[in-house]
Structure 1
Amino acid sequence: MQSTASFPHRTAFFTDLPAQGVLSQRWAYHSLFWLVLSLYNILYFGFLLNNYTQAIFEYSVKLPFYLILVYGNIYYLIPRFLLTGKYFQYFVFLVLSTLLSVAIIQTLINHLILISYCPVGYHPNVLFDPKPTAKRMFDTFSVLGVTSGLKLTKDWIDNQEKIKELEGQSVKNELEFLKSQIQPHFFFNTLNNLYSLTIKKSDLAPEVVVKLSGLMSYMLYESDSHETTLKKEIEHIQNYLDLESLRFGKRLNLDFEIEGSIEQRKLAPLLLLPFIENAFKHGTSHETGILDLKITLKILKGKLLFVVVNPRFDNSSNRKKHKGLGLKNVQRRLALLYGNNYELNIEPTEKQYVISLFIPLK
């Protein structure tokens, strides 16, 4: 699943907090950043110059311009030009604004303020002396680079989180849709079975209604959650098998085996039933009406092995017309729920269909 999205135009390059009570906290992060940056510059350049007073003075001149450049960059230049693909315009405006700022800083330090307020013995540089000019250009671009990197990194992380959230919501919606498809598909089949019993005026019809009511309750009310217990799922399967046993009577040869502890195990609801439905739908001979069905459910080291074996007949010319709603549905659900962490094998032999499913359990 692919998603595309532009970086959001956000108001902070360190953190985004909920609207209520945010302003002071956000500015606390900003203030802490500038405080740390200022202390680092003052201590570092004071050590190099062997004059911390001069370092404090020079940085107090630079700081307002750094603030203007940084916030102008992250609030205006990046959203207006960089994130809209206008890279050349962004580069030109950034360089010009940096050059102008450095020129003003040089003027203030060398010709307006230092002459009067710096310690005795300080000699101002020529306005565009290459060495101090290159140094201040480098310092300015370093601050812009760090803050731009923080801004873009934070926006990228936020953007990825939004994409994941949207993808997760999309997957959730698709799973709910697929699960909702199972219910009418199942009820349609079961109501057909009930109809056939009522046509025959079978005494089993009332019992079918009771069983069907229990299944409807499970499907409509108890399977809304993302997962259910394996025990409940097996009870649901057993109810379905009881329904089919009422319909088939002696024509059904059923072998349902459960191995291992099913307590405290969880899986997605309504995940196993479509395979059993498929066996009842396609495993009955038109001539004899007999169904030999074997269902095996094993718990193996935190994983579930589920196997359904039913006969294969050649007299199924109209089955292709109705093939696969349940199986395609469950295959899609398996892919969404487990990704590549499951195995599903459908192996038709000359006389049998063997479906085996291997999934992790919670």
Structure 2
Amino acid sequence: MYINDKLDELLKAESSQQYRITYMHHIIFWAIYFALNTLRWGSMHDDFEYSIKTNLIGFPIHIALSYFNIYFLMPKYVYKRKYITYTTIVLLSLFVMLLVKYNLTYYLVSTNVWPEGPAELAGEGLTLNYAIQTMLGELYVVSFATAIKITVDWLRENSKLHDLEKRQLTTELKFLRSQVSPHFFFNTLNNIYSLTLEKSDKAPEVILKLSGLMRYLLYATRKRKQDLKSEIDCIQNYIDLERIRFNDSLQIDIGISGDLENKMIAPMLLVPLIENCFKHGASKNIGDMHITIDISVADDFLYFNVSNTIPVSDRESKVATRSGGIGLSNVKKRLELGYDSKDYDLDIFEKENMFHVDLKLKV
């Protein structure tokens, strides 16, 4: 259906656009990091030329080591729980980085490779203290970049999980909506079949009303919410069909009150409740049957109360009335998926040989 297809496209678009890291994000990140680091060391040594040169040497090393860790070492070792191998390779990588950085700085920038270190060690070359400080500094950069990558990955996976849950709910709602129509038409077509066997003159009228219902179902079930008045019109058409079937043996009392205008409801939500009265009530009874339907709207809430005579066979055999089979279980599930728990209240019970369904729903 058109609306469902559009919803699927929207969910796919959201999934593909959320938390996606592009090449431009990488460039912007390292550019900002380079600028801040240059300002930091330039102000510390009061020598911005030296800071730019050392950062031009250091940053390619930062980037190479960070991406080597993020895109190779972690997937290959950390995600496979090979922690000792991972730690060993990281330490070896830091040591190689140390040698490369030391030699590039010594031969291209200054023989004093550690001006921020103790004065007495100036010009001492590759010392243990310099090695430890440089490796820890590089580990800090790698850890910072890795933390960002892990955070973004977690956000993306969490977003995918959320989208998957929405897709599952949407798919289940689609199934439940589509389940209403075949179930409804199955019973109505049985009615028409019975009339045609009897060669009843009522058959054309039934077919005409059924076509009206089909028109409603064709358009109403495409929408998440439908006008309440249209839903009630559908109910009245359905009841008219059943009146034709049961003739004078069926007594139906209907009461409608309140302002129905500008009120919305999930399509085909109420029809299964009415259908349930006929399927599990009227069609099993021998003798007079009584169905009461009361529909009212007050304070943005719909109060829908329907009751039917419990079949004589069930009363005599003391069999508890079923909770409605496909019809009522469908309504329960659609309420759970389509409404907040505070926005509806569904009560199903038996009293004085009558089966009652009371629904309070925000509209």
TM above 0.5, yes or no, is yes
Rounded Cα–Cα distance in structure 1 between residues aligned with 2:71 and 2:127:
30
Q: 2:98 aligns to what SS in structure 1?
A: helix
Q: 2:276 aligns to what SS in structure 1?
A: helix
Unpaired segments ≥5 residues, structure 1: 1-13, 18-25
Rounded Cα–Cα distance in structure 1 between residues aligned with 2:269 and 2:176:
11
Counterpart of 1:57 in structure 2 is 53
Counterpart of 2:204 in structure 1 is 206
Counterpart of 2:101 in structure 1 is 105
Rounded Cα–Cα distance in structure 2 between residues aligned with 1:51 and 1:228:
71
Counterpart of 1:349 in structure 2 is 351
Moved more, 239-248 or 196-205: 196-205
Q: 1:134 to 1:339 in 2, by over 3 A?
A: farther
1:242 equivalenced with 2:240 (yes/no): yes
Aligned partner of 1:277: which letter? E
Match of 1:89 among 71, 85, 88: 85
Counterpart of 2:20 in structure 1 is 16
Q: 1:213 to 1:59 in 2, by over 3 A?
A: same
Query: What's the CA shift string for 1:15-40, capped at 9, x where partnerless?
Result: 527xxxxxxxx333222211211121
User: How far is 1:274 from its partner?
Assistant: 0.9
Q: Which has the higher helix share?
A: 2
Moved more, 237-246 or 301-310: 301-310
Counterpart of 1:254 in structure 2 is 252
Q: 1:198 aligns to what SS in structure 2?
A: helix
Among the aligned pairs, what percent are the same residue? 36
Q: 1:328 to 1:125 in 2, by over 3 A?
A: farther
User: How far is 1:200 from its partner?
Assistant: 4.0
Rounded Cα–Cα distance in structure 1 between residues aligned with 2:178 and 2:19:
40
Q: 1:315 aligns to what SS in structure 2?
A: helix
Q: 1:60 aligns to what SS in structure 2?
A: helix
Aligned partner of 2:156: which letter? D
Counterpart of 2:66 in structure 1 is 70
> In 1, are the aligned partners of 2:305 and 2:358 still within 8 Å (CA)?
yes
User: How far is 1:142 from its partner?
Assistant: 2.2
Rounded Cα–Cα distance in structure 1 between residues aligned with 2:68 and 2:24:
19
User: How far is 1:95 from its partner?
Assistant: 3.1
Q: 1:124 to 1:302 in 2, by over 3 A?
A: farther
Query: What's the CA shift string for 1:70-106, capped at 9, x where partnerless?
Result: 2222222233333344444333323331232133223
Counterpart of 1:128 in structure 2 is 127
Task: Give the alignment's TM-score, normalised by structure 2.
Answer: 0.81
User: How far is 1:213 from its partner?
Assistant: 1.4
> In 1, are the aligned partners of 2:285 and 2:312 still within 8 Å (CA)?
no
1:314-329 matches, cutoff 5 A: 314-316=312-314, 324-329=325-330
Rounded Cα–Cα distance in structure 1 between residues aligned with 2:69 and 2:172:
41
Counterpart of 2:183 in structure 1 is 185
Counterpart of 1:10 in structure 2 is none
Task: Give the alignment's TM-score, normalised by structure 1.
Answer: 0.81
> In 2, are the aligned partners of 1:110 and 1:124 still within 8 Å (CA)?
no
Query: What's the CA shift string for 1:15-72, capped at 9, x where partnerless?
Result: 527xxxxxxxx33322221121112112222333333333223222211100101222
Aligned-residue CA RMSD (Å)? 3.1
> In 2, are the aligned partners of 1:282 and 1:319 still within 8 Å (CA)?
no
Counterpart of 2:159 in structure 1 is 161
> In 1, are the aligned partners of 2:176 and 2:330 still within 8 Å (CA)?
yes
Q: 1:125 to 1:52 in 2, by over 3 A?
A: farther
> In 2, are the aligned partners of 1:311 and 1:353 still within 8 Å (CA)?
yes
Rounded Cα–Cα distance in structure 2 between residues aligned with 1:90 and 1:302:
62
Counterpart of 1:6 in structure 2 is none
